[in-house]
A and B are shown apart, each in its own frame.
Chain A
């Protein structure tokens, strides 16, 4: 049922996206000045949706509504603190309200883990977050997990004193795959949004 709704939604999206001159996933447009145009549907209550908002805008919305897109961990730990659980509960509500957006749960480990273990630990943390979100009512097919290991330290975590800041899981929003897209155009120069 949900899958069918998603297909319908993406079909609608595909039509309206090309009409609006947007680049569909996987070439999301970088935010341009004055983007998104005012008057586009925002937030819940517009499902099935019109044009999907740009991912950076949605991520900003998630950060505001849920408090953060990131939960942090102690070294070697994959246990969700009460604070993390509160953040994830809010993230889950947001995801339930935005069923046409997928989330990639990206796990990271600190740069002082050995490389293989860091990848495994990032995956374990991401799985722990995903399981919490599913338990909070988010449909499993809306979520995927990936581990970056220690390959992507945050700007907060590059210093020696703050390397533990890299032990984190970030909820990164993605547009669902374009299931009905028969043909994917080549990347084009960025079209300016119509005013």
Chain B
């Protein structure tokens, strides 16, 4: 990247300038986010464009404040500027605000009732543009545009995907333990825009978001038999994925979203299959007697991690995505299940049963480098954050059996609870749309 070298010095000086905020051993960039101007204040469905401009700046600050790499300031206390200046900042006017980088942009009403949101990131030291984004969105969707801007800035600074526009689907569990009511829910990564996609009449499990966040594949007991269904992420267009009378479950999208790996059980033998996301005839990948399930693609789509009890206990295996070269990678003790490949490809998260509890760990795709991250009574169903920094999982409380979503940093530390309106299970975190 051509900005990289200049940027490194920038972060270094920024960290020096703001050593109060900088965490030990970590460079942090101070980012000024003044409010977005509008060429003409127009009333839209989402409010006046001038107000949206303030809200977008606030949202960007709020998003970036959750990161360690960026310390955002504003929009209060920062000077106003004109939409013309957004694309050509007057650098001398931004000197002396103690920031290493500047966010500008504008909000403009369109003739069709939507709005244009344009945002830029400038390196104040080298006086160069680092990235820019432009969106034409419904006025009510200004927040998503703000999330995407924040994500682009985070990516420009850290070279990692930002989480801000990512979504989480999970199973909301109410009712009693013997008669649970399960609904598929979806929300933004920060818990906003929470919606239910199924209504609880039928037991559902294992919702998985497609990489673009547009579709959800899940398992349903509709018709009395576990089978896979797929729907749009707003709950519409719900349909059965397979024309099969055998039970199918454990779905997961390939990284390009074009195919879905899953398990099908026929007469006591569960194997892994792949099918086109639009349906069609599934292709069988494993034939071992015993249970092969929980497939998860590598980010390049060339390999699949899965669990199998062919050795006598559940263990984690990796194979090529055509089913060849199946080999075991988990040798760290206990029975190991639910492998999920990290988006950066470096690790596989898994759940380990020790005989007394189930815990979440990570290992390298070649096996080894194991690290256990949690020590709950029952922690399972891992799912990666888009930046591969966090593992979200389901924690079941001893005694009540109540489930909740938690996330733990792969660096270690205590898990943090993810707020959901009801007890929750089976999280799936989407990728990030660039």
- A121, B308: Cα distance in complex, Å: 12
Residues of B within 8 A of A104 (CB): 224
Binds B, one of A89-97, A109-117, A180-188: A109-117
Specify which chain A residues have a CB less than 8 angstroms from the CB of B178 in the assembled complex.
152-155, 158
Which stretch of A59-67, A80-88, A143-151 is in the interface?
A143-151
On whether the beta carbons of B399 and A160 are closer than 8 Å, the reply is: yes
Interface-centre pick from B268, B313, B396 (highest chain A CB count, 10 A): B268
CB neighbours (8 Å) of B219 from chain A are 119
Contact indicator B293/A116 (Cβ below 8 Å): yes
Cβ-neighbour of B249 out of A78, A111, A119 (below 8 A)? A119
A112-B358 contact in complex given A120-B263, A147-B226, C-beta closer than 8 Å: yes
Question: How far is the CB of B288 from the nearest CB of chain A, in Å?
Answer: 13
In Å, the complex CA distance between A114 and B291 comes to 13
- Please provide the chain A residues from 126 to 146 with a CB less than 8 Å away from any CB of chain B in the complex: 127-128, 131, 146
Q: Which residues of A contact B182 (CB under 8 A)?
A: 151
Write out the residue numbers on chain B whose beta carbons fall within 8 Å of the beta carbon of A158.
177-178, 401
The answer to whether A120 touches B270, judged by C-beta atoms less than 8 angstroms apart, is yes
A117 pairs with B307, CB closer than 8 A: yes
- Tell me the complex Cα distance, A111–B316, Å: 21
Q: Are A121 and B177 touching (Cβ within 8 A)?
A: no
Query: Given B293, B378, B398, which contacts A120 in the complex, CB threshold below 8 Å?
Result: B293
Name the residue in A116, A119, A121, A160 with the highest tally of chain B Cβ atoms < 10 Å from its Cβ: A116
Chain A residues with CB under 8 Å of B250's CB are 116, 119
Contact between chains at B293 and A146 (CB < 8 Å): no
Contact with A along B370-411 (1 / 0, CB 8 A): 000000001011000000000000001011010000000000
Is B351 interfacial (CB-CB < 8 Å)?
A: yes
The reply to whether A160 and B398 form a contact with Cβ atoms under 8 Å apart is yes
Residue of A nearest to B267 (CB): A127
Within 8 A of A (CB), among B251-296: 263, 265, 267-270, 291, 293-294
Interface residues of B in 178-234 (CB under 8 A from A): 178, 180, 182, 203, 205-206, 219, 221, 224-226
Roughly how many angstroms separate A61 CA and B183 CA in the complex, as a whole number? 36
B242 to chain A, nearest CB (A): 15
Does B426 touch A at the CB level, under 8 Å? yes
Q: Does any Cβ of B come within 8 Å of A123's Cβ?
A: yes
CB of B303 within 8 A of chain A?
Answer: no
Q: Is B81 an interface residue (CB 8 A)?
A: no
- Is B291 a contact partner of A117 (Cβ separation < 8 A)? yes
A168 an interface residue at 8 Å Cβ cutoff? no
Q: A123-B268, A124-B268 are in contact. Are A115 and B401 (CB under 8 A)?
A: no
**Chain B residues near A128 (CB-CB < 8 A):** 268
Instruction: Find B268's partner among A78, A114, A153 (CB 8 Å cutoff).
Output: A78
Contact B226 A146, beta carbon cutoff 8 Å: yes
A114 touches B337 (CB 8 A): yes
Determine if A123 and B401 form an interchain contact, defined as CB atoms under 8 angstroms apart: no
Please give the distance in Å from B287's CB to the nearest CB on chain A. 15
How far, in angstroms, from A104 to B207 measured CA to CA in the complex?
26
- Quick one: which of A116, A146, A148 contacts B263, CB cutoff 8 A? A116
Do A147 and B381 touch (CB < 8 A)? Answer: no
> Contact at A153–B177, with CB atoms within 8 Å?
yes
A-facing mask of B310-332, CB < 8 A → 1, else 0? Answer: 00011000000000000000000
B108 at the interface (CB under 8 A from A): no
Do A116 and B294 touch (CB < 8 A)?
yes
**With A121-B291, A160-B398: A116-B268 Cβ-Cβ less than 8 Å:** no
* C-alpha spacing A152/B178, complex, angstroms: 5
A residues near B396, Cβ cutoff 8 Å: 111
Q: Which residue of A lies closest to B335 (CB)?
A: A76
* B338 in the interface (beta carbon within 8 A): yes
B86 at the interface (CB under 8 A from A): no
- Which of chain B's residues have a CB closer than 8 A to the CB of A127? 267-268
Rounded to whole Å, the gap between the CB of B354 and the closest CB of chain A is: 11
B224 to chain A: closest residue by CB: A146
Q: How far is the CA of A124 from the CA of B224 in the complex (A)?
A: 17
Q: Are B268 and A119 in contact (CB under 8 A)?
A: no
A114-B339 Cα distance, complex, nearest whole Å: 11
- B265 pairs with A119, CB closer than 8 A: yes
Could you pull out 29 A-B pairs where Cβ atoms are within 8 angstroms? Answer: A76-B313, A111-B396, A111-B401, A112-B353, A114-B338, A114-B353, A115-B425, A115-B426, A116-B250, A116-B294, A116-B338, A117-B291, A119-B219, A119-B249, A119-B265, A120-B263, A120-B291, A123-B247, A124-B291, A127-B267, A146-B226, A147-B226, A148-B221, A151-B205, A152-B180, A153-B177, A158-B177, A158-B401, A160-B399
- The chain B residues found within 8 Å of chain A, CB to CB, are 177-178, 180, 182, 203, 205-206, 219, 221, 224-226, 247, 249-250, 263, 265, 267-270, 291, 293-294, 307, 309, 313-314, 337-338, 351, 353, 358, 378, 380-381, 396, 398-399, 401, 425-426
